[in-house]
Amino acid sequence: MEYLLDTADLNEIREINAYFPITGVTTNPSIIAKEKKDYKEAINGIIEIIGTEKMLHVQVLGMTADVIVKEAKLLKETFKANLFIKIPVSAEGLKAMGILKKEGFNITATGILTSQQIVMAVQAGADYMAPYVNRADNINGDGVRVVEEAYKIISRDKNNKAKILGASFKNVKQVHDAILAGAEAVTVGTDVLKQLIYHPYTDWSIDKFNSDWGKAYGNGKTLL
Q: Which is nearer to ligand E4P, 117 or 168 (CB)?
A: 168
- Kindly state whether residue 167 participates in binding ligand E4P, applying the rule CB under 6 A: yes
Residue in 54, 76, 86, 163 annotated catalytic: 86
* Cα–Cα distance measured from residue 131 to residue 117, given in angstroms and rounded to the nearest whole number: 9
Note whether 28 and 48 are within 8 A (CB): no
- Kindly state whether residue 110 participates in binding ligand E4P, applying the rule CB under 6 A: yes
Residue 202 belongs to what H/E stretch? helix 200-217
* Residue 1: CB minimum distance to ligand E4P, A: 17
73 is a catalytic site residue: no
Binding track over 176-215 against ligand E4P, x by CB under 6 A: -----------x----------------------------
Task: Name which of 93, 110, 97 is nearest 26 in CA terms.
Answer: 110
Q: Which is nearer to ligand E4P, 166 or 182 (CB)?
A: 166
* Cα–Cα distance measured from residue 110 to residue 132, given in angstroms and rounded to the nearest whole number: 8
Task: Name which of 164, 204, 178, 196 is nearest 16 in CA terms.
Answer: 196
The residues that touch ligand E4P, with contacts defined as CB under 6 A, are: 6, 26, 28, 31, 110, 130, 132, 134-135, 167-168, 187
